[in-house]
């Protein structure tokens, strides 16, 4: 099936060895140690994960079974064990004498700050746990959390975990409509929200959206717990609505952690919806927690002296695993910020990093590109010398942005962990272990120990590394942290992830990838994003990378447009660094085409280039390529664009504005 294989056109040859200084203190140091762990996992897969689970989790009742594969793809891990996730995140650190360790260093956009130690956080969690119980929330009941980036969002998630309720966090940027769909799908009994959130100097009317959602349905909801945050005016429904702080004052902090089965659903999280109707991804308790802990240690190399900061919102999986659970479970000190990264100026993140002494910093390529566009002077104003490790997630990072992050933010001394994973996998799957694996800009490098990632063709056969062909990214074995089903829709779970290859169960990630001669993984994009130009199949990512490498380009998105002769022609949407008015756009189009031809070859030369002020992105910052494909083909836009940050950009991209 040669015409079905994907070609890789862009080559990136730079290699960055592990800095000696970093390796010296790293938990996993040197390739040998990484390979040794990976080998152990390959030789005795269950034994490897069982040992990790015994070491890293404090069990209420130890497990004796490891992986139960009797009913694929409904896998179970550690099924006869019981535990409490909140106990693992809070109590055990306090019992070990670390109750006074700062857990959360929070800062709000207006400049207000609040800090919580582990002991203080446990008090909050206990009180809210008791309050939820007083509203009849029992083990297995669902609670929807619709909150801004305040410490209480983490408290709410942990309180649910403490009493065995299953939470579903809905990103605070979602509309009343999106909220309603999710509340109804989950069948929530209680909604925890705030009067409003604060972002970009504006108030986000959260409570108002909850009222709207509840007025239109959501009959299962009995109570709405409201945190006062923005102090905006809100409506009040007596009997249903209660103030967060009032109930906290009333409750005792003493709330025994409820032991739950390893497979008990800790939470439901709806995927960002980049590729269609959001799926309610269901995560387990023990397996999920285990992935969060091992990746915090292996990938973030987290230690006692670290100040860790993940800039994601708690509404995304990254905010679940790498804010609410992972850092807590390993007893880390973390920074949390509510607000826009450019208020009062584009140096805000670097100013917080300086003041808190951030050592490990984790963000998304879209944020890196946005801040890069603002210029070096902003990071250069701040002392970022405490940073020792940087990370990215969410999209492939183009080499130009990688280099900027590495040099300007990391001072050339911090490894970058480019972490490939998904809502569905629960924790990192492919990422450098920073003390062990040399880096290549734009590659997420190698799978974590115990992750059997592969690139395969349509038949499920491995595509040889170094063959310059791409294929489907799969996991050959189920990992402990991965999803257990789609909420209320087992069939969709089977169809979406496990049905692609006849006669074998392999997890289909939905991304295409290639591996180079060193076995390094390069993500090429979503399976749907592949373009076929005159029989050459390419990932859009590579063309985008080439465009972004041009001085004048800030961001680019590339899609295929149906073409009678070539199959697809290449359509590029480009956002410039400076003002469009200052440019001779026709000359620039030609320059960009020549540039792509130089970087990749004539085959990747964009046929059409359209300039705009912004790209259409989901609220989680991902480019909506499906929408761009519609626009490129000149079809009418019928997609739901309500999750777009700025609906005006659509007219611009259509060439109408
Ligand atoms: P939906 O599944 O609803 O379309 P989504 O896939 O955008 O939404 P997420 O689970 O948040 O929702 O994103 C996971 C996807 O993000 C991956 O499948 C991959 O396409 C992309 N991704 C994440 N991390 C990386 C990375 N380090 N490199 C390349 N791509 C990444
Ligand atoms: Mg996805």
Burial class (CB in 10 A: 0-12, 13-18, 19+), 159: buried
Question: Domain containing 129: what range?
Answer: 85-98+115-258
Residue 318 domain flag: no
Residue 274, ligand 1, Cβ within 6 A: yes
Residue 605 domain flag: yes
Residue 275 domain flag: no
| Rounded-to-integer distance, Cα 320 and Cα 284, Å | 13
Residue 430, CA atoms < 13 Å, CB-side half-sphere: 28
Q: Is the pLDDT assigned to residue 143 strictly greater than 50?
A: yes
Query: Would you say the C-alpha torsion 481, 486, 487, 488 has a positive or negative sign?
Result: negative
- The domain spanning residue 185 has which CATH number? 3.40.50.980
Residue 204 domain flag: yes
Residue 393, ligand 1, Cβ within 6 A: yes
Residue 88, ligand 1, Cβ within 6 A: no
Residue 274's pLDDT band (boundaries 50, 70, 90)?
low
Q: Is the pLDDT assigned to residue 2 strictly greater than 50?
A: no
| Rounded-to-integer distance, Cα 46 and Cα 66, Å | 6
pLDDT tens string 564-604: 888 889 999 999 988 888 889 999 999 999 998 888 888 88
| Rounded-to-integer distance, Cα 645 and Cα 657, Å | 17
Residue 622, ligand 1, Cβ within 6 A: yes
pLDDT at 481: 98
565-590 b/e (C-beta count within 10 Å ≥ 16 → b): ebebbbbbbbbbeeeeeeeeeeebbe
Residue 398, ligand 1, Cβ within 6 A: no
Residue 627 domain flag: yes
pLDDT at 58: 98
CB atoms within 10 A of CB 493: 22
Rounded to 5°, the CA angle 620-624-628 comes to 160
Across 229-243, 274-288, 523-537, which has the greatest mean pLDDT?
Answer: 229-243
Q: How many domains is the chain partitioned into structurally?
A: 2
Question: Which of these, 118, 196, 187, lies nearest to 154 by C-alpha position?
Answer: 118
pLDDT at 139: 98
pLDDT at 1: 31
Looking at 226, 258, 290, the residue that finishes a domain is 258
Lowest mean pLDDT among 27-31, 182-186, 651-655: 651-655
Atom of ligand 1 nearest to the CA of 273: 3
From 317, 395, 417, mutation site for ligand 1 pocket: most ligand atoms within 8 A of C-beta = 395
Residue-averaged pLDDT of the chain? 93
Instruction: Name, in order, each residue with C-beta under 8 angstroms of 70's C-beta and a sequence gap of 6 or more.
Output: none
Atom of ligand 1 nearest to the CA of 622: 7
Lowest mean pLDDT among 21-30, 85-94, 240-249, 592-601: 592-601
Collapsing DSSP states into helix, strand and coil, what is residue 546?
helix
CB atoms within 10 A of CB 2: 6
Residue 587 domain flag: yes
Residue 270 domain flag: no
Distance 434 CA to ligand 1 centre (A): 21
Looking at 232, 258, 284, the residue that finishes a domain is 258
pLDDT at 607: 94
Distance 376 CA to ligand 1 centre (A): 28
Distance 109 CA to ligand 1 centre (A): 28
Distance 393 CA to ligand 1 centre (A): 8
Looking at 258, 291, 314, the residue that finishes a domain is 258
Atom of ligand 1 nearest to the CA of 431: 27
Q: Is the pLDDT assigned to residue 549 strictly greater than 90?
A: no
Atom of ligand 1 nearest to the CA of 509: 18
Identify the residue whose C-alpha is closest to ligand 1 atom 28: 396
- The domain spanning residue 560 has which CATH number? 3.30.300.30
ipTM of the complex: 0.99
pLDDT at 6: 65
Residue 34 domain flag: no
Q: Is the pLDDT assigned to residue 646 strictly greater than 80?
A: no
Instruction: Name, in order, each residue with C-beta under 8 angstroms of 640's C-beta and a sequence gap of 6 or more.
Output: none
First-to-last alpha carbon distance for the chain, in angstroms, is: 44
């Amino acid at each position: 099936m040669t015409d079905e294989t994907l070609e890789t056109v862009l080559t990136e040859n730079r290699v960055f060895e592990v800095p000696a200084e970093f390796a010296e203190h790293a938990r996993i140091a040197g390739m040998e140690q990484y390979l040794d762990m990976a080998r152990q996992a390959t030789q005795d897969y269950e034994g490897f994960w069982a040992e990790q689970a015994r070491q890293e989790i404090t069990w209420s009742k130890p497990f004796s079974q490891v992986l139960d594969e009797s009913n694929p793809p409904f896998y179970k891990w550690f099924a006869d064990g019981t535990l409490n996730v909140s106990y693992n995140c809070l109590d055990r650190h306090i019992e070990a004498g670390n109750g006074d360790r700062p857990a959360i260093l929070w800062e709000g956009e207006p400049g207000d700050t609040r800090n919580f130690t582990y002991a203080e956080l446990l008090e909050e969690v206990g009180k809210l746990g008791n309050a939820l119980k007083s509203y009849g929330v029992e083990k297995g009941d669902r609670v929807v959390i619709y909150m801004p980036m305040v410490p209480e969002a983490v408290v709410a998630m942990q309180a649910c975990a403490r009493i065995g309720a299953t939470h579903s966090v809905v990103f605070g940027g979602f509309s009343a409509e999106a909220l309603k769909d999710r509340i109804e799908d989950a069948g929530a009994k209680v909604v925890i929200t705030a009067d409003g959130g604060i972002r970009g100097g504006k108030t986000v009317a959260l409570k108002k959206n909850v009222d709207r959602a509840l007025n239109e349905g959501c009959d299962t909801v009995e109570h709405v717990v409201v945190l006062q945050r923005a102090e905006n005016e809100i409506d009040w429904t007596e009997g249903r609505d209660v103030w967060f702080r009032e109930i906290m004052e009333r409750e005792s902090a003493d709330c025994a952690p409820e032991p739950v089965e390893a497979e008990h659903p800790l939470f439901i999280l709806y995927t960002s919806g980049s590729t269609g109707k959001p799926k309610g991804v269901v995560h387990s308790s023990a397996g999920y927690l285990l992935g969060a802990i091992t990746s915090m240690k292996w990938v973030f190399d987290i230690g006692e002296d670290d100040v860790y900061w993940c800039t994601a919102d708690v509404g995304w999986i990254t905010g679940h695993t790498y804010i609410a659970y992972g850092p807590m479970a390993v007893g880390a000190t973390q920074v949390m910020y509510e607000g826009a990264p450019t208020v009062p100026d584009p140096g805000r993140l670097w100013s917080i990093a300086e003041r808190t002494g951030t050592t490990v910093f984790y963000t998304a390529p879209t944020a890196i590109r946005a801040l890069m566009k603002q210029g070096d002077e902003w990071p250069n104003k701040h002392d970022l010398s405490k940073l020792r490790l940087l990370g990215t997630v969410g999209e492939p990072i183009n080499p130009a942005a990688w280099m900027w992050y590495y040099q300007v933010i990391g001072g050339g001394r911090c490894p970058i962990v480019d972490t490939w994973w998904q809502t569905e996998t629960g924790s990192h799957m492919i990422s450098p272990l920073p003390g062990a694996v040399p880096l290549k800009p734009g590659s997420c490098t190698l799978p974590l120990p115990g992750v059997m990632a592969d690139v395969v063709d349509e038949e499920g056969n491995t595509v040889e590394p170094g063959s310059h062909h791409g294929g489907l990214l799969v996991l050959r074995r189920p990992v402990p942290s991965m999803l257990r089903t789609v909420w209320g829709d087992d069939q969709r779970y089977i169809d979406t992830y496990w049905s692609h290859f006849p006669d074998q169960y392999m997890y289909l990630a939905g991304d295409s990838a290639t591996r180079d001669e060193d076995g390094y993984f390069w993500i090429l994009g979503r399976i749907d994003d592949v373009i076929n130009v005159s029989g050459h199949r390419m990932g859009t990512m590579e063309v985008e990378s080439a465009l972004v490498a041009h001085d004048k380009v800030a961001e680019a998105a590339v899609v295929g447009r149906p073409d009678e002769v070539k199959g697809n022609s290449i359509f590029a949407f480009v956002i410039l660094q400076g003002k469009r008015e200052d440019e001779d756009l026709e000359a620039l189009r030609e320059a960009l085409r020549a540039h792509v031809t130089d970087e990749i070859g004539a085959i990747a030369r964009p046929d059409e280039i359209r300039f705009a002020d912004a790209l259409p992105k989901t609220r989680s910052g991902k480019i909506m390529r499906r929408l761009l494909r519609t626009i490129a083909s000149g079809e009418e836009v019928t997609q739901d664009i309500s999750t777009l940050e700025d609906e005006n950009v659509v007219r611009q991209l259509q060439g109408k504005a």
